[in-house]
Structure 1
Amino acid sequence: MNIYIYSDESGVFDKKHNDIFVFGGIIILGNPEKLVLSRKYAKAEKDIRQSKNLPRDYELKATAISNGEKGKLFRSLNQYHKFGVIIEEKRVLDRIFESKKDKQRYLDYAYKIAVRRAFEDLIKQRLLIEEEVRNLYFFVDEHTTATNGCYELREGLEQEFKNGTYNWKYDTFFPPIFSKLESVQLTFCNSRNKLLVRSADIVANKIFYYAKQEDHEKLRSIKNLYVTYLP
């Protein structure tokens, strides 16, 4: 089985001016599910464009559409597995914000943890069988990530899910979740050209909205959503 993970972020990682930062996205289990979701989400976008007489190349990002339209797009994802991580920035150590590299390392860590915990929940519910997973394909909205940052995230994901990780402090090895995994691939892409990265934008926006409202009960009520809180 191939698993496809599409993700985006919401908020600014800067604790002086912001309280919340979010990664959000969608996890697709297998090629047939990806095909069905792509058709469904494309139809939802098409309906909105037609109702507003928008051109076909108009990007339906969460910041550019109404709450009702965001709701329509989000409902098209109801039966699919979604994940997110909410970072409460005021609780993050000050030293993390002292350099771009430390900030990026922390965000990479948060992203990996969110995806891993979502996978663990899916396995626990027997919605995913570890031994059947062969390839992981990550698609991340590109934003302004530097080339070396892209490489480090790709390497970190491969360690987390394919090779396993080692804690030098405690001399402990943590094996990967998927014992038969063959590859981990990461693509940074422009959401304008990637349909399902736009769906991840809608998920991230929804999580961010409820996190800002501190409406955690509402978040918990969302079907097929796995949310991690950090730190």
Structure 2
Amino acid sequence: MDVYVYSDESGVFDKKHNDIYVFGGLILLGKDSKDEWSRRYIAAEKAIRSNYEEKAELKASYVRNKDKYKLFRSLNGCYKFGVVIQQQRVLDRIYKSKKDKQRYLDYAYKIGLKRAMEALIRDGLVSDKDVKNLRVYVDEHTTATNGRYELREGLEQEFKNGTYNYNYGTFYEPLFGGLQSVQLTFCNSATTTLVRAADHVANRIYHESLTCIPASKEKMTITILP
């Protein structure tokens, strides 16, 4: 089985002016599932398209609230995940360099995704031995080439190769023992349907988190950090 992950971010990683930063997205089990949810989301976009300029991208920051809800409801039954970073609890030194900030965000992303995958395994929706390829698609941003490599390497360690804690001399087994590959693709949400869907998931979690930490809902795993 191939597992497909589509994700996006919401917020600004800057604790002086922001309290919350969020990753959100979809986890799809198999190509047929991926194709089906893509068709459903395209149909939902078509249903509201007449309310907006013809070529405008229907991102969460652009569409009206009532249409946000329609797009989000079109994903009912699809497994979603989120990572909420409480920025006031993040160490100040993390914000001193772009590299440290990116490393922390990569850490938060891979841990949140791992927690969501663990929940799928616990719920019996996927076997840790049946997943052959993990295909991750994220909205493109200004991450440097070496930063993209580090994120892919981090995902490979968690899911394919395992991690080693040198301080304690402990090896942690990979989550998917039979995994053959981890593919990470940075893509344009304007041309990638399910990354646009992930944008609405991230936006929903972000706005719920401004008033309270969102409770885990049906088919959604939310990881709170730090």
- Kindly state the Cα deviation for residue 221 of structure 1 after the two structures are TM-superposed: 5.8
Q: Give 2:49's aligned residue.
A: 49
Matches within 5 A, 1:15-94: 15-50=15-50, 52=51, 54-55=53-54, 57-94=55-92
1:197 maps to amino acid: V
Note if 1:120 corresponds to 2:118.
yes
Counterpart of 1:211?
209
So what's the TM-score if we normalise by structure 2?
Answer: 0.98
1:227 aligns with 2:203: no
Does the 8 Å CA contact 2:83/2:112 hold for their aligned counterparts?
A: yes
Check whether the contact 2:42–2:193 (CA below 8 A) recurs between aligned residues.
yes
Separation (CA, whole Å) in 1 of partners of 2:46 and 2:6: 20
Give the SS at the match of 2:129.
Answer: helix
Structure 1 CA distance, aligned partners of 2:215 and 2:165? 32
| Residue correspondence of structure 1 range 98-117 to structure 2 within 5 A | 98-117=96-115
Change over 3 Å in CA distance of 1:169–1:145 after alignment to 2: same
For residues 169 and 222 of structure 1, what CA distance do their matches in structure 2 show? Answer: 37
Decide whether the 8 Å contact of 2:81 with 2:113 is kept in 1. yes
2:169 aligned with 1:171: yes
Alpha carbons 2:79, 2:219 under 8 Å: kept: yes
SS of residue in 1 equivalent to 2:25? strand
Query: 1: distance between equivalents of 2:96 and 2:215?
Result: 33
Alignment of 1:7 with 2:16, yes or no, is no
Following superposition, the deviation at residue 53 of structure 1 comes to: 5.4
The aligned counterpart of 2:95 is 97
SS in 2 for 1:34: helix
Aligned to 2:108, the other structure's residue is in SS state helix
Question: Over the residues paired in the alignment, what is the CA RMSD in angstroms?
Answer: 1.0
Q: Tell me the distance in 1 between the aligned counterparts of 2:81 and 2:24.
A: 6
Asked if the contact 1:78–1:223 (Cα under 8 Å) also holds between the matched residues in 2, the reply is: no
Q: TM-score, normalised by structure 1?
A: 0.96
Q: Residue 223 of structure 1 aligns to which amino acid in structure 2?
A: E
Q: CA deviation at 1:213?
A: 1.3
Greater per-residue helix proportion:
1
Given that residues 142 and 188 in structure 1 are in contact (C-alpha distance below 8 angstroms), is that contact kept between their aligned partners in structure 2? yes
TM superposition outliers: structure 1 runs of 4+ over 3 Å: none
Code of the aligned partner of 1:16: K
Q: How big is each residue's C-alpha offset from its partner over 1:148-200, in whole Å with a ceiling of 9 and x where there is no partner? A: 11111111111111100011111100010111100000000110111000000
Inter-partner Cα distance in structure 2 for 1:146 and 1:62: 26
Deviation string, structure 1 residues 70-92 (Cα, Å, up to 9, x no partner): 10111111101100110000000
| Per-residue deviation, residues 84-115 of structure 1 (Å, max 9, x unmatched) | 11000000001111111110000000000000
